[in-house]
Structure formats: structure tokens, C-alpha cells
């Protein structure tokens, strides 16, 4: 996951778990993880205010980008290329 520097510093100083809103999360699908558990984790990240969850499925050579939406997350499928690229510029407006 990608977090703001100040959130990372707070977590590092406390020695505890991350508490806050990740900018985005990358999940690599495990062959043994069931779909319902994957969708539950994606939902939890989005409920926490994450800007996007990128789910990598190396067996299908694809990636899905889940974003918060009024009713449901938007899902975008893209073939994994070398290197993978996805448009997450809206999460980093000050980086060029």
C-alpha cells in the first residue's frame, strides 16, 4: 500500500498497525484465496477511503483497478504489460 509520509511516520513511531487512509493498494491474487475473501478485502480498503485498489492476477495476465463509486467500484481490466501501467494520476495531482 502507498501511504502519506506523515501517516507512515505516525505508524513507525507508535510501532503499531497502520491507521489511516492509504492512497492506493496493490493486491496480488494468491492461487489459494477465494473470490469472496478478495472482494471483502477490496471493499474494506474502499470503505476506508482508499483512492484505488489494483488487483494483479498473474494467472490471467491481467490487472483490475477498483475505484470508489456512488453505488459500486468501477472495474477496469488491462492486460499486464512489461512494465504494467495504469492511470492513477488523479491520486497524485502534485506529481508530474
Give residue 80's pLDDT: 62
pLDDT, position 85:
64
**Cα 52 off chain centre by:** 5
Question: CA-CA distance, 58 to 56, in Å (whole number)?
Answer: 6
Give the DSSP letter string of the chain.
Answer: -B--HHHHHHHHHHTS---S--SEEEEEPPTT--HHHHHHHHHHHHHTT-SEEEEEETTTTEEEEEE--SSS-EEEEEE--SS-----GGG-TT--
User: pLDDT exceeding 90 applies to what percent of the chain?
Assistant: 3
The confidence band for 37, taking pLDDT boundaries of 50, 70 and 90, is very high
- The pTM for the full model equals 0.69
Each residue's pLDDT tens digit, 42-70: 888 888 888 888 888 877 777 788 888 75
pLDDT of 6 above 70 = yes
What is the pLDDT at residue 95? 57
Confidence band of 86 (pLDDT split at 50, 70, 90):
low
Cα(40)–Cα(84) distance, rounded to whole angstroms? 25
Amino acid at each position: 500500500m502507498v501511504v502519506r509520509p506523515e501517516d507512515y511516520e505516525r505508524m513507525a513511531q507508535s510501532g503499531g498497525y497502520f491507521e489511516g487512509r492509504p492512497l492506493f493498494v496493490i493486491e496480488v491474487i494468491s492461487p489459494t484465496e477465494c473470490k469472496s475473501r478478495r472482494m471483502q478485502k477490496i471493499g474494506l480498503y474502499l470503505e476506508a477511503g482508499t483512492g484505488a485498489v489494483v488487483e494483479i492476477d498473474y494467472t490471467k495476465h491481467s490487472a483490475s483497478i477498483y475505484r470508489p463509486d456512488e453505488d459500486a467500484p468501477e472495474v477496469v481490466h488491462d492486460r499486464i504489460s512489461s512494465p504494467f501501467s495504469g492511470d492513477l494520476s488523479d491520486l497524485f495531482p502534485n506529481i508530474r
